[in-house]
Structure 1
């Protein structure tokens, strides 16, 4: 397994705190040296131990004896299918695909990715046919991996290869997965042959993600008839020489918007590196990401499932709520940050009788009930392509305006800002407590302060932090999921109104000296 190539210079006997590798429902660590203050902790022996622990966990869950989940697993006697460069959604789908010739479906899949994080980072995601693993599962695996690591002599790679009992096979699964995506588009458009694709002038332009998404160009869009001239930044390069491959990044969105304009394209599509997040740009250059993308997906899903509940993260706008509930006739359930939190909440609602078919974050993560609740950026874009393809059956000259029209009426704030207030964990004001306890104290004080201000009103339903409406806008102060940070989101109709909301926060949090309010002061003084 190549999760940490280039890190073999690190001692295999070094003490490792495995639980510190947990990042919610994923594993993240430093795989390559070269950054001061960031020692390598995702070494080859560590990765092998984690793989072995996943094999044991899966065997215990499934009680299977003929499955494929290289080293950490094959040494346990299990077979491995290597897919090479692949996407996160594809790895999940490999647990569902029926293909006896290629030994599919697999019982478990591991994705090696750190998404858009810096070059020295890497990570692991895990899947079974039930979807991605949750936080508790990851904790179990890491605790088991720690025991394996401590008990093992960790011989050389050559020795481990000689000891392995399982077989390793290479499978071009991305071709299989891409073919299934093409079939999904054609089926939705009512076209089972080659037929016209979802294009008009310049077709679809792939924008970014220099690692895994090039497959979509040759194996998905071209077979559908799209002209993909002008696509850019498709070569694998973990150094990200052009810009951060992040659908929320302004530079990334500017690049794909420019590509759409230069090539007179109908649609631009952009992913992060492992293709679980996405965004789009229409032919006029209008960005379809964050609240707009959620609004667009909500419109499509509510056409198919009238009245369904749309679950989102906590930083979505009031305008999105109005759009979903008043224009589309759905229900907006604003929950917490964290794509897994959003997905799990949608699943929970269905179990108690409240129908939900879409769970989305402003980050570009999105999951649909029809797609096994996997956060799948490629599948979201397929839904958009389906809409274009179906419209072309009725009007061959239609462009991406059919998508833009679906978000007509979405109210958007003139001022949108996110400010990160960092907690100094070494400050005396923490009095030996955790940053989480300190952050909760800040939120409680803010909540009490707001209750005394007649211009401000707490959100009646809120599941994370303190969300407040006032001055025609709103703000949300919450505690980061993993870091000693209190992110502050503000949306308002004008800069003056945004400043009034910011001042309300500043007045309350200024009493906490361990909280760095420099960024907030800078915003208020602009």
Structure 2
């Protein structure tokens, strides 16, 4: 956790709100309030050298007030603000990437309504994470740092920035006529879909596209398949070839095929990667250690170059930029595009998948079955003490495994793989196991559990 590296606390700011990739906490307990956001905005403005900051927000009940506090902090530190209003996170990314300003999105993504926070972006959509600026911002926020006196900046309310963002997306991916179901989860994608439909050949059967920051129908978290049940049923009932579900700030998406089956993050990554490898033979594709080993094998078999990144959007973006990769995917439904500043875009993923489905001779269910599968444990969490010691014991217990220490420890054999990594926010060890055979999966998971329990 970033807070472990902070110095003495001088401000009444809970340091635990500074996470590895963003700032996030509870608003109902006062963990994050407008005063905290003002302090963060003030420090952020100086961190980016007084550059203008594009500020967007989601529709949570607290987002307007928190955005006002953040903006006051930015302008109080002498920087100007482009106030984008209520937009998805990737619209802030686009404005930052296309104009060169810094960016800030007031959101807590898929978390419940009583959470909020901010995602920060350096100028030109360069990601900010713990080791690329966020830790330093956190130290200043909770410490005794004070901004020097300056002439305050000004706020420029910006009109419809969604048009320019859609120009960028549709100039690169404009699928053929296709009917689909989209579950917005009452999140921010509902701000985009009406304009997207008006400007494209897509027809959308809507499900919870009305933005509502209380998320009255189901949590805006498509990683939890319980939240996709209505979407799966409606795809089958409507007879459409594709369904999609977005998270609260619209930068993550999960797909449902014509048979009403959810594509997990690994299957979707492989299918999307195939599209880009056909278009750009021999190109690079980024993945994290949690996606199935099926993905890098699939990429290699298609003539591409798989690249491994640590988990998390800021890490993935950095590898995308540094490597010049055309595409990247995570198990969590984040998909990254070289043609979108190396950043993640749920809507660009939707347009790309619609292109694939619209052009394919076979339905998406057939494309899904073409991707090899393995038995998977999913993410299993254990509360532990000394994470490093336990990971070392796992390595020692399996001397015949190939070992990779990118983001925790990955142990790999021909027929199975284990990834063990510490949580960035909690005293948890996260274990993911996959294997060609279910019995092997159960055996390996039991062995890992035994090692963890013995280490206590």
- Normalising by the smaller structure, the TM-score range is 0.7 to 0.9
Q: Deviations over 1:71-104 (max 9, x none)?
A: 222334444332222111100111244xxxxxxx
Match of 2:120 in 1: 126
Which structure 2 residue ranges, 5 or more long, are not aligned?
Answer: 1-9, 56-70
How much does 1:311 deviate?
A: 1.9
1:296 equivalenced with 2:271 (yes/no): yes
Match of 2:89 in 1: 88
How much does 1:492 deviate?
A: 3.1
CA distance 1:419–1:68, change in 2 (3 Å): closer
Match of 1:486 in 2: 429
State whether residues 181 and 220 of structure 1, in contact with CA within 8 Å, keep that contact through their aligned partners in structure 2: no
Q: What is the rounded CA distance, in whole Å, between the counterparts of 2:53 and 2:183 in structure 1?
A: 37
State whether residues 18 and 143 of structure 1, in contact with CA within 8 Å, keep that contact through their aligned partners in structure 2: no
State whether residues 42 and 74 of structure 2, in contact with CA within 8 Å, keep that contact through their aligned partners in structure 1: yes
How much does 1:474 deviate?
A: 2.9
CA distance 1:495–1:213, change in 2 (3 Å): same
| Rg comparison, structure with higher value | 1
SS state at 2:267 partner: helix
CA distance 1:411–1:94, change in 2 (3 Å): same
1:271 equivalenced with 2:274 (yes/no): no
State whether residues 28 and 114 of structure 1, in contact with CA within 8 Å, keep that contact through their aligned partners in structure 2: yes
Q: What is the rounded CA distance, in whole Å, between the counterparts of 1:116 and 1:377 in structure 2?
A: 13
CA distance 1:147–1:316, change in 2 (3 Å): closer
Match of 1:333 in 2: 307
SS state at 1:20 partner: helix
Q: What is the rounded CA distance, in whole Å, between the counterparts of 2:43 and 2:147 in structure 1?
A: 13
Q: What is the rounded CA distance, in whole Å, between the counterparts of 1:467 and 1:96 in structure 2?
A: 34
Match of 1:217 in 2: 193
After TM superposition, the score normalised by the length of structure 1 is 0.74
State whether residues 357 and 368 of structure 1, in contact with CA within 8 Å, keep that contact through their aligned partners in structure 2: yes
State whether residues 21 and 313 of structure 2, in contact with CA within 8 Å, keep that contact through their aligned partners in structure 1: no
Greater strand proportion: 2
Relative contact order (alpha carbons < 8 A, sep ≥ 6): 1 or 2 greater?
A: 2
Q: What is the rounded CA distance, in whole Å, between the counterparts of 1:88 and 1:358 in structure 2?
A: 19
Match of 1:75 in 2: 76
2:32 to 42, 45, 51: 42
Provide the alpha-carbon RMSD of the alignment.
Answer: 2.9
After TM superposition, the score normalised by the length of structure 2 is 0.84
CA distance 1:137–1:464, change in 2 (3 Å): closer
1:108 equivalenced with 2:69 (yes/no): no
Which structure 1 residue ranges, 5 or more long, are not aligned?
Answer: 1-13, 34-38, 98-104, 153-162, 190-196, 392-397, 424-434, 452-456, 514-526
Instruction: State the aligned residue count.
Output: 429
Match of 2:382 in 1: 421
State whether residues 277 and 365 of structure 1, in contact with CA within 8 Å, keep that contact through their aligned partners in structure 2: yes
SS state at 2:192 partner: helix
SS state at 1:49 partner: helix
Match of 1:347 in 2: 321
